[in-house]
A and B are shown apart, each in its own frame.
Chain A
């Protein structure tokens, strides 16, 4: 039964990736300019280059053959060349994705570690002042535009108080070789005389962007957890347990939590895709060298191969993350395993 479900989900994954690739392929035609340039990344092709490219990209055959050629190239790692930098788009993507992932993962962890317990707390003190306080704070955080929050934090903590820096991942004077791309890991792995200082510096740089990025998912999780808990606590089996004499604490920990947390886990998985999008804005404001900032810069510069590559990379990650989160959720939830058709 489970295997069947997993296979079907993987099928969905494949289908989604297929659609994504078709969409990305069509972008070369949808974007203004010469499609051949958009595909290859060479802006003004002369005659011989044109001929070579036409052969390579099967330009003279129908769209289906071109699409096959496109998929072949993608799988081999030839994602074209960026107009702006002249280097391989794939190299850029590989270079920049770890930074975005690192930021998003830390923000996700914070939102779970902070959001879920606070939501549980709010539901435990339902209709009393802790609940009201937490709910209103969550509502305020949920409604705040992320770029405004970032600007406020920069104004107060960076410029006025000088506690945290406002750009980059680590002070530029530290030359940290990029082995994994995750800055904290790289510092630990590097054979570097000033490891401790560099680590502290990197943590300083991480603080503000992570807080900004974590704000929205944390408030979503607080609200969602609170509602999920309230819904479960309202159910008859809880009332029975209460009547039998269990204390509030025992109720929550032994009975309500396990049932309430399941949809919360599903929600956590969904948050990942929102995180990556919000990360794009955060990266622009904090000059964080991740794929989001690169994508937005490419849009300004009309660097079409780069836009294609960036979109494909980001969407791919989101799709994979969503499906993985779903699989995890389904493995944990007995009820949804038995669903005949995958109704999301």
Chain B
């Protein structure tokens, strides 16, 4: 059917623009994206925006409920915990740790994963088979267990957790990237490039990556949501961030003792965690749907 064109040229939007268009129409995914961006901004600016210091104790204001409760105080919008620390400030800073560090971990995993995965994808023969088997071994061990093993060796602590998560996410990541590359390598245009005499590097950078990077982003979001859940789980088990670091999982574990007196100190970190993971999953899902639809076109 002919579309109404004000101008006579054909409007051929770039794949990226088309992707954004389709993505926009998926309302949950769009909402997820806004929340995701909000968290990212929060993670970056929290130390400057937070009203109080993270460890600032107010002995006159212990266990205040959030300000909309009649016993609350507008000075402390989300209330205080049992040492008189402002919950809002701690949760905002928690974004930097839980969300921010997860993003960093996922990014590092992506970089290493892409490098190693590509190498695994383009290598052939014994090297390839060996790498594949090695990957199979590590694939069967779930990321959280791997992270726990690494923590058992390195000892608890936030930075160790980040290393552990990176090491734990890598196998799955490398595996997915490798499969991606291998699939692409089987396509006709790559054969055409090779017949034309392009070098391996040329094929990779000009041919494969532009077709593949969107999928890498999808895998990145999946790694990110796993990273957030794992960092929080380790913090909750007291194997990760140690108090008074304000990682959300650690805050939850710390405030468990107050669950009857001050349930908001336990509920709020959980809600934030849930929203962070949900938004990441929504974005990832939305992207995946769009890419699938595009494949069908």
Interface, chain A (partner B; CB < 8 A) = 12, 15-16, 19-20, 27, 30-32, 136, 139-140, 142-148, 151-152, 155, 273-274, 276-278, 280-281, 284, 295-296, 299-300, 307, 311, 314-315, 318-319, 322, 341-344
Contact = CB atoms under 8 A, between A and B. Distances in A.
Contacts of A281: 233, 236-237
Contact of B274 (A20, A144, A155, A322): A144
14 contacts: A12-B133, A142-B281, A143-B281, A144-B274, A148-B274, A151-B266, A152-B270, A276-B145, A277-B144, A295-B148, A299-B239, A318-B140, A344-B132, A344-B139
B278 interface: yes
Interface stretch (B56-64, B149-157, B198-206): B149-157
A145 B278 contact: no
B137 A15 contact: yes
A146 B233 contact: yes
A142 B263 CA distance: 24
Contact of B136 (A12, A27, A274, A277): A12
Contacts of B135: 344
Interface string B249-278: 100100010010001001000100110011
A315 B137 CA distance: 10
B229 interface: yes
Interface in B63-114: none
B142 A139 contact: no
Contacts of A140: 278
Given A140-B278, A281-B233, A299-B151, A155 B141 contact: no
Contacts of B152: 31, 299, 307, 311
Interface in B160-198: 175
B270 A143 contact: no
Contact of A296 (B28, B142, B225, B237): B237
A295 B137 CA distance: 21
A284 B282 CA distance: 30
A27 B153 contact: yes
B238 interface: yes
A307 B154 CA distance: 13
Given A144-B274, A145-B233, A281-B237, A273 B252 contact: no
Q: Counting chain B CB atoms within 10 Å of each CB, which of A140, A148, A319, A342 scores highest?
A: A148
A225 B273 CA distance: 27
A273 B138 CA distance: 12
B33 interface: no
Contacts of A295: 148
B54 interface: no
A274 B233 CA distance: 14
B294 to A, nearest CB: 15
Given A299-B239, A311-B149, 4 more contacts: A139-B285, A277-B142, A278-B144, A318-B142
Q: Counting chain A CB atoms within 10 Å of each CB, which of B149, B153, B281 scores highest?
A: B149
Interface of B: 28, 129, 132-133, 135-137, 139-142, 144-145, 148-149, 151-153, 155, 175, 225, 229, 232-233, 236-239, 249, 252, 256, 259, 263, 266, 270, 273-274, 277-278, 281-282, 285
Contacts of B282: 139
A343 to B, nearest CB: 7
A74 to B, nearest CB: 17
Contact of A299 (B148, B233, B266, B281): B148
A20 to B, nearest CB: 8
Contact of B140 (A31, A145, A322): A322
B273 A148 contact: yes
Contact of B270 (A27, A139, A148, A296): A148
A16 B140 contact: yes
A16 B237 contact: no
A39 to B, nearest CB: 15
Nearest to B232: A145
Given A143-B278, A281-B237, A311-B149, A148 B252 contact: yes
Nearest to B150: A30
Contacts of B155: 32
A81 B236 CA distance: 28
A145 B145 CA distance: 16
Q: Counting chain B CB atoms within 10 Å of each CB, which of A299, A311, A341 scores highest?
A: A299
A144 B272 CA distance: 10
Contacts of B278: 139-140, 143
A179 to B, nearest CB: 29
A155 B259 contact: yes
B4 to A, nearest CB: 28
A313 to B, nearest CB: 12
Contact of A314 (B132, B145, B256, B263): B145
Contacts of A311: 149, 152
Q: Counting chain A CB atoms within 10 Å of each CB, which of B145, B237, B281 scores highest?
A: B145
Contact of A151 (B149, B175, B259): B259
Given A15-B137, A16-B140, A136-B28, A145 B153 contact: no
Contacts of A300: 238
Contacts of A278: 144
A143 B36 CA distance: 14
B129 A341 contact: yes
B270 to A, nearest CB: 4
A344 B136 contact: yes
A147 B252 contact: yes
A301 B274 CA distance: 31
A319 B154 CA distance: 24
